[in-house]
Structures are given as structure tokens and as C-alpha cells.
Amino acid sequence: MRKHKNLNALFQIDSLSQLNPETDSSLDIIKEGLKLGLNIWITNPDNLTFYDGRIFYTAFEIKDLSLKLNKSKKIFLEDFDLFFIRQDPPFDMKYISNCYLLELHQKFNKKPFFINDPTGIKNFTEKIFPLYFHNLMPKTMVSSSARDLEYMFKKHKTLVMKPLYCKGGEDIYKFSRKDGDALRTFQMLLSKYKSPVVIQKFIEKVKYGDKRVILINGKAVGAVNRIPQSGAFKANLHLGGTASSTKLTKKETDICTMLGSVLRENKLFFVGIDLIDQKLTEINVTSPTGIVQCRELYNVNVSKLIWRELISIV
């Protein structure tokens, strides 16, 4: 690919000190963009100001591949060609407010191109979005009722409970119908998060892996099978899961194809979906990961694919 020094990209991400430079997907995308000669800046949601129909940030330009930063500068969002929303959840009112303000900017300005679109992020969070395709999922209920929990235990021997708006396996629990702590934990989740709880049939075959599939502009470009530690059920890599190579089955490929048109329609350019035993469990539209693992397992440079597709769009 040729150099693109005339293109400007801004990343709204968490503090660099919080990110692992060896495994973080945002940093991998940034480094690939720098190699292509793009002008790349970073900022944080707390640095956003909306005034008179436009957004400005306090931001830092990245000097080079060492990720050293120039001095902070006030910049206007419409001066950028590309804008990556990559800060991690929780998907709380702070996150939603950020999306509202970015939507306002879109009403009054043609630039930049958003990855991902703030309206799409706001409307389709990772545990809500799959419910649009509930026939592709394990049996799943979202409820605040203890009676509904009891009903699900009558139908299924083992359940998983999880909050609607967290990330990375946080506060996800597994219980059998005989476990006396299930109701107490359900009530704790209701109290802690002030929102309904996801109650889902536990899939025993998770021990063989939880597949993360990366979709770029609605097309699957890579997949990683995350295998839980022995005796565990959470496959998240930062919780001890192991990344291994995998191939998508026909059913999994069909799921990706089915989702692809919906993702494009809602301007969700970079998405990670999770599949357990060929069933859809989550659709990550906020800050999907897995890029580094795809390169390590298959020598597939997903970051380069992202830039290639974006450059063709803008």
C-alpha cells in the first residue's frame, strides 16, 4: 500500500499507560497506520467539548512507532478523515453521553468517518445486539424477576448470569439449579448494576473453545478460538484463556453472512462476534479485540486490512 500522509486519524481510547503494547488491538491498528504514513492522534472522552455545532478535543499527535507523543493541542473533529471510538466499556451514562455528543457533531459536519458509528454503538451493545438474532443463540432471557430465574432453572440444568453492560468476563457467574447461591447472586447483580440480568443456558462445549470472529465492513477476516483454563468456563484471554487456531464451520460462516448486512446498514465497520458451539453469544461493537492473535496464529495482518478498506472508503 502507498503512503497516505494526507490522511488524518483520531483515536478516542483509554490512557496509553493502561494498554498492553504487545497485545492491544487499538495500538496494533495505530502502529500499522503510522507505517502507512498517516497522521495519527489520540484523545480521551473526558477531553471532548461540544460547542456551536462542532466538537473539539485536547489531543496528542503520535510521533512515531515508539508511541511517543507531541505536546497536547486543541483540535477540531471535522479536521479529521477518520475517527476511532475505542475506549473500553462499562457502557454507562458517560459512554452513552459521549455517543450522543458525537451524533450531534454528525448532524452539523460531514467529517470524519466513524469506526464505529456512535448511533450504532449506542443502539446495539454487545449483549443486547445478539437478541435481534435470538434464534441463533443459546436460550437467553433478560429479566429482573426471581421467578424468571426459577423458570429458567426448570428448563435448564445449568445457567450463566451476566450483567448487560460490562466487559471482559466481569461479574459473569455459572450456577446449577441446586446451587443455593444463584438467587443471592442474581439479586446482587440487580442491585449493583441497576439493570436487568442476562440469564442464559450454559453451553458445556465451551470447554472446547469460545470463538472470536473479526468482521471488517461486514466480512469475516479472522477468527481465534479461545479455550478456557481447565475447570474454568470463561475463555477471555486476559483471564487465562488460550488462543488457538480454528476454522469456521458452514453454520458459523452463515451466521457471519447473516450479520454482515445488518452491520453495514448500521455503519458498524469493525466488529467482533463470539460463537460457542456454533451459537451466537455476543456482538462486540465498542472495542473488539483479537487482531494480534490473528497475526500470531495465521500471519494475517487484520490492521492492514482495516486501513486498506478505510482508505478505499474515504
In the chain, what are the domain boundaries? 8-120, 139-202, 206-285
Length of the chain: 314
> How confident is the model over 10-24, as pLDDT tens digits?
999 999 999 998 899
CA angle, residues 252, 257, 261, in degrees to nearest 5: 145
CATH class, 139-202 region: alpha beta
Q: What cell numbers appear for 57 in the block?
A: 478535543
Whether residue 109 is predicted with pLDDT greater than 60 in this model: the reply is: yes
Does 206-285 match 139-202 at the fold level?
Answer: no
Instruction: Assign 46 a pLDDT band (cuts: 50, 70, 90).
Output: very high
> How confident is the model over 229-282, as pLDDT tens digits?
888 888 788 777 899 999 999 999 999 999 999 999 999 999 999 999 999 999
Topology (CATH) of 206-285: D-amino Acid Aminotransferase; Chain A, domain 1 (3.30.470)
Contact criterion met (CB below 8 Å) for 259 and 250 = no
Cα separation, 303 vs 110, in Å, equals 25
Q: What dotted CATH number matches 8-120?
A: 3.40.50.20
The pLDDT assigned to 3 comes to: 61
Average pLDDT over residues 203-223: 97
The pLDDT assigned to 231 comes to: 82
Distant-in-sequence, close-in-space partners of 190: CB < 8 Å, separation ≥ 6:
144, 196, 197
The pLDDT assigned to 202 comes to: 97
Residue type, position 89, single letter: P
